[in-house]
Structure 1
Amino acid sequence: MRKADLVVGVQWGDEGKGKIVDMLGLNYDMICRSQGGHNAGHTIWVDGVRYALHLVPSGILHKNIVNIIGNGVVVCPEVLITEMAQFDNLEGRLYISDKAHLNLSYNSQVDQAKERLKGEKAIGTTGKGIGPTYADKISRSGHRVGELLEPERLCDALMHDFETNKPVFDALGVKIPEENELLEELKRYKEVLAPFIANTTNLVWKALDEDKKVLLEGAQGTLLDIDHGTYPYVTSSNTISAGACTGLGLNPKEIGKVIGVIKAYTTRVGHGPFPTEDKGTNGDKMCEIGKEFGTTTGRRRRCGWFDAVSVKYASRLDGVDTYALMKLDVLDGFEVVKICKAYQYNGETIDYVPTDLENATPIYEELAGWDSVKGISRYEDLPANARAYIERIEELTGVKVGYISTSPERSDTIIR
């Protein structure tokens, strides 16, 4: 039986997974999304056209690939329908797990209200209702995509939930829809989505049993994992490679090659510890050249130098076999580039990620910069200093770089 390969982000998300999945997807029969919701976003450039995807897997850009939204994803029907409208002839190319949980408008209202109440202690969520949806799932009070097939029954259940939670919703200022409006909305969702709702676990199993090539597409990044990330400044799902198993119904033996996606520098959205953040002109330059604004929120990303300590930690959690190094071209023109090789922590030098990462100070190694790598497609044609930078990352993390992106375009990728 064939195994499924996995693409996983190894930093705080926004590493460039979409481009890699889009590029590699040409070699696969099926691409699967396993966790997260429309808080995540992939930006893909093809022939100068920008595609921003939040729920639909990146394989949707290829007509011959089946795309799966797994049970671990939380699905906002409104967002999904809008996204699907960009593409033609989706039947047979897109399936949504009937076990995936529904993210409805009241979830985002709860999310935003709680963030406002926290004031300065707010985590900096996207406000898309992802956390409240997962909270409902864990407390066994959520609703699943398959329930859309019986809109009247789902409407009754939701109205009962609203009544039960009325004191909390009133306190938070959550607006509850009228029953007739809610029912019409659910009927519209059913009309559009019903042909795509399926038992996706069986579909993935069948594909593997038939020796089809399956690629699993991670969302966000390992350092945002609910258990292993910089808690509480994390997302609400397991973003590590093991999350792909629970989010699709696979067992660990069914995972093959793990491709870890890393940026040539580091970015983070929202609050939380970020040891290598550069709040000066270098960080501003990375942001400007790299167009570091969130696909989902439009928020400016915090930028800084490559952190080999956190990447090595995340790579161990994920079992990374090879790296895809993205946005190397963003560092073009820097006279000096830096890599964090260790931390100063409580008076000691450490090479691991402490639980209280905010108390760690980076210890940098400086390397000479280079002029330009833009559009280069062969490793040996890269400037010597760029190759030295890549090889030092490999030495510090213990993982080889197999793919190198030298521009946003799909074709500008070095394969080693």
Structure 2
Amino acid sequence: MFDGHVIVVDLGFGDAGKGATVDWLCSAAAGLEVSAVVRFNGGAQAAHNVVAEGRHHTFAQFGSGTFSGVPTLLSRHMLVEPIALAGEARQLAALGVPDPLSLLRIDGRALLTTPIHIAANRAREDARGYSRHGSCGRGIGETASYALEHEAPTVADCLRPRVLRQKLELLAAHYGPVIAPSAHRYEPITDLIAMYSEFGAAVRIVDDGELAALAARGRLIFEGAQGILLDEWRGLHPHTTWSTVEPRNARAMLAAIGASAATLGVTRTYLTRHGAGPFPTEDPTLDLPEPHNIDGPYQGPFRRGHLDLPLLRYAVAAADGIDALALTHVDVETPYVSTGYDTPTGTVDDLALGPWQDLTHQQNLTTLLATATPRLTRRPPNRITWLAEQLATPVVLTSTGPDRADRHAHHIARTTSCPA
């Protein structure tokens, strides 16, 4: 299907099926001979459901190629939560994955998400009341924002107890006023250091030479987290993640080793959103099965709506183009698609892509969509052909269910090549 490396990104608000797509690309069914899955954004809040050969796992930090024995590289752009990662390793071992931690390589520059970050995140989101942003409550935003102005703990510090202690003490002092009034608590720093030291000894901590070494052995699959409409600079602010979801970081990592990749955009046949934020095509009457996505205590409800073509085009533009589409949930029948909006200031067919890092533009988009009424038209008879035509992009993979066996290749795409 692909001649070279592949970047997998979600073109919506998340939950489109990235994990299942990556699992298939790494399986024998795809025949791609993948050397590693590279995680290039997000952290422990990811929830990539994979169902294959009688097993189901919700991948958070491990790459979704793990069932096929494909190693995972957690890049410097990942936010690593060791306690949750150890728990995920135990779950994978119980599912028959031998020694899951041996499949991990972690860039030492990756930031650590600690229980202190998580407690602060939940305290802030609780304080917002009805104005919540839709956080997962996993400390992602606090991890990223703290590191902008402070010497934050990293994975490499797990091998340097003195440095780690100093950073954790400063972290705890910084967040003390935020956490103190709440019921959220965290482990004593001495206990954290002991756990992190054990973690550092159990995993392979690498430098920036690891990516080139893995690429020299074969194909890399870059597995994105969340969706482009939640991107920190391109998403609908303030209902966004503290992470660059669109593929610029993955492309920069590849460029640094003289390589490039095809970008595979994943979308459902309809739109979903977890938690707060504008959702013009939301339709509470849609009774669609969702076995693996539920309401969350911090994110809020899991919402469903009709396919939104302007938002989909916007996501493709925010990704600086895609090379192919993976279309999931083609077995689900929804009556409408949106081809534009009616707004108080007139009709809108396309959403403008503003300058990168322009949060004012993103806030204006949020305001526009909060007051927009979608122009709904009947679902086209052949959604696969219609979507390929609308986005001028081939649909190369479809799925009719959650299982790996439910995925079907549709198109041979000759794309970018692996490095020499």
TM-score bucket of the superposed structures, by smaller chain: 0.7 to 0.9
Q: Does the 8 A contact of 2:50 with 2:58 survive in 1?
A: yes
Q: 1:360 aligns with which of 348, 367, 372?
A: 372
**Which whole-Å CA distance do the structure 2 matches of 1:289 and 1:121 have between them?**
26
Q: Does the 8 A contact of 2:146 with 2:152 survive in 1?
A: yes
CA deviations on 1:381-402 (whole Å, 9 max, x unpaired) are: xxxx3xx122222222222211
CA deviations on 1:352-389 (whole Å, 9 max, x unpaired) are: 22623212221112036xxxxxxxxxxxxxxxx3xx12
Does the C-alpha gap of structure 1 residues 45 and 165 become closer, same or farther in structure 2, counting only changes over 3 Å?
A: closer
Q: Does the 8 A contact of 2:39 with 2:75 survive in 1?
A: yes
The alpha-carbon deviation at position 347 of structure 1 amounts to 3.9
Aligned to 1:308: 309
The alpha-carbon deviation at position 413 of structure 1 amounts to 1.5
CA deviations on 1:158-203 (whole Å, 9 max, x unpaired) are: 123323543444355654644xxx2233223322343424225311
Aligned to 1:243: 249
**Which whole-Å CA distance do the structure 2 matches of 1:20 and 1:157 have between them?**
38
**Which whole-Å CA distance do the structure 2 matches of 1:161 and 1:396 have between them?**
49
CA deviations on 1:275-297 (whole Å, 9 max, x unpaired) are: 11002x22xx12x3565426997
Aligned to 1:343: 341
Report the secondary structure of 1:79's partner residue: helix
**Which whole-Å CA distance do the structure 2 matches of 1:3 and 1:251 have between them?**
16
**Which whole-Å CA distance do the structure 1 matches of 2:197 and 2:79 have between them?**
17
Report the secondary structure of 1:329's partner residue: coil
Return 5+ residue gaps in structure 1 as ranges: 369-384
Q: 1:396 aligns with which of 387, 390, 397?
A: 390
The alpha-carbon deviation at position 133 of structure 1 amounts to 0.5
Does residue 95 (structure 1) correspond to residue 89 (structure 2)? The answer is no
Does the C-alpha gap of structure 1 residues 251 and 277 become closer, same or farther in structure 2, counting only changes over 3 Å?
A: farther
Does the C-alpha gap of structure 1 residues 306 and 415 become closer, same or farther in structure 2, counting only changes over 3 Å?
A: same
Aligned to 2:224: 218
CA deviations on 1:249-300 (whole Å, 9 max, x unpaired) are: 7549633110000011100001000111002x22xx12x3565426997954
CA deviations on 1:181-229 (whole Å, 9 max, x unpaired) are: x223322332234342422531111233x25211100001000001100
Aligned to 1:49: 55
**Which whole-Å CA distance do the structure 2 matches of 1:35 and 1:294 have between them?**
23
Does the C-alpha gap of structure 1 residues 109 and 274 become closer, same or farther in structure 2, counting only changes over 3 Å?
A: same
Q: Does the 8 A contact of 2:273 with 2:302 survive in 1?
A: yes
Aligned to 2:198: 191
The amino acid that maps onto 1:39 is Q
**Which whole-Å CA distance do the structure 2 matches of 1:16 and 1:23 have between them?**
11
Report the secondary structure of 1:110's partner residue: helix
Aligned to 2:6: 5
Q: Does the 8 A contact of 1:54 with 1:296 survive in 2?
A: no
Select between 257-266 and 197-206 the one with higher mean Cα deviation. 197-206
Within 5 A, what are the aligned runs for 1:13-412?
Answer: 13-26=14-27, 27=32, 28-63=34-69, 65-85=70-90, 86-87=92-93, 88-90=98-100, 92-171=102-181, 175=185, 177-178=187-188, 182-208=189-215, 210=216, 212-245=218-251, 250-251=255-256, 254-279=259-284, 281-282=285-286, 285-286=287-288, 288=289, 292-293=293-294, 300-318=301-319, 319-331=321-333, 337-353=335-351, 355=365, 356=367, 357-367=369-379, 385=381, 388-412=382-406
Q: Does the 8 A contact of 1:242 with 1:252 survive in 2?
A: no
- Please give the root-mean-square deviation of Cα atoms over the aligned residues, in Å: 2.4
Report the secondary structure of 2:376's partner residue: strand
The amino acid that maps onto 1:307 is D
The alpha-carbon deviation at position 315 of structure 1 amounts to 1.1
The amino acid that maps onto 2:311 is S
The alpha-carbon deviation at position 243 of structure 1 amounts to 3.2
The alpha-carbon deviation at position 30 of structure 1 amounts to 1.0
Q: Does the 8 A contact of 1:41 with 1:296 survive in 2?
A: no
How many percent identity over aligned positions?
A: 26
Does the C-alpha gap of structure 1 residues 262 and 159 become closer, same or farther in structure 2, counting only changes over 3 Å?
A: same
**Which whole-Å CA distance do the structure 1 matches of 2:340 and 2:200 have between them?**
49
**Which whole-Å CA distance do the structure 2 matches of 1:289 and 1:52 have between them?**
14
The alpha-carbon deviation at position 94 of structure 1 amounts to 1.2
The alpha-carbon deviation at position 82 of structure 1 amounts to 0.6
The alpha-carbon deviation at position 71 of structure 1 amounts to 0.9
Report the secondary structure of 2:233's partner residue: coil
**Which whole-Å CA distance do the structure 2 matches of 1:201 and 1:411 have between them?**
36
**Which whole-Å CA distance do the structure 2 matches of 1:42 and 1:120 have between them?**
28
Q: Does the 8 A contact of 2:254 with 2:260 survive in 1?
A: no
**Which whole-Å CA distance do the structure 2 matches of 1:274 and 1:252 have between them?**
39
Report the secondary structure of 1:262's partner residue: strand
